[in-house]
Amino acid sequence: MASYDYGKREVCAWIRKNYPPASMLLDVGAGDGKWRRLLPEYPHMDAVEAYYHNAERLTGYENVYRINILDFQFYWYDLIIFGDVLEHLSMQAAQDVLAYAWPRCRDLIVALPFRYQQDALGGNPYERHIQDDLTPEIVAERYPQLEVLYDTGHDYCYYHRAK
């Protein structure tokens, strides 16, 4: 499934304002490659995609890693985009992924839908929402290191590193 379009224009404008095109970006759970298409001026964008059938269709990335984010090890990215990813992980796994990424990036963007139940789709078991109870209050409780970057007003919000 592709992520929502809500707020993508505003978040891309924020990225362009804060990160020059030479920045190293990582698109986690790249899916159909939407962030790659939205930010074509960033040549150094890598993708992590757990589902093989999605990963084999991704184009335009500098590197495509066919691996679950829980197993992906890296040194540094200027910006990591978790576009519709954390709700697919248990709370503990999501906290662990953020804890691993935190010292290995300047900032990260986390896009989350609220109160959204979803099972596996199209044969992709990674599409199941494990944290389908998320609300702004629950995100603040479970992920206090995040603050709102852009609230779309559609039960969908973008977060980034709290200052």
19: helix, strand or coil:
coil
pLDDT value of position 126 = 47
Largest pairwise CA distance in the chain = 39
β-strands 105-113, 156-161: how paired?
antiparallel
The answer to whether 60 touches 33, Cβ cutoff 8 Å, is yes
**Residues in the chain, pLDDT under 70:** 1-4, 51-52, 54, 88, 115-131
pLDDT value of position 66 = 93
- CATH top class, domain 8-161: alpha beta
pLDDT value of position 57 = 87
Tokens 């939407």, residue located: 34
Q: What sign has the CA pseudo-torsion 42, 44, 49, 53?
A: positive
The span from the CA of 20 to the CA of 126, in Å, is 32
Residue 37 amino acid letter? R
Residue 117 tokens read as 């139940």
DSSP β-bridge partners for residue 91: none
Quickly count: other Cβ atoms within 10 Å of residue 98's Cβ: 20
What are the Cα distances from residue 69, in Å, to 6, 11, 20, 84, 149? 24, 22, 25, 13, 23
pLDDT value of position 1 = 45
pTM of this prediction exceeds 0.85: yes
pLDDT value of position 37 = 96
pLDDT, tens digit, for every residue of 60-99? Answer: 999 999 999 999 999 999 999 998 878 768 889 999 999 9
pLDDT value of position 42 = 98
The span from the CA of 126 to the CA of 50, in Å, is 8
Residue 103 amino acid letter? P
Closest CA to 150 of 1, 2, 15: 15
pLDDT value of position 118 = 54
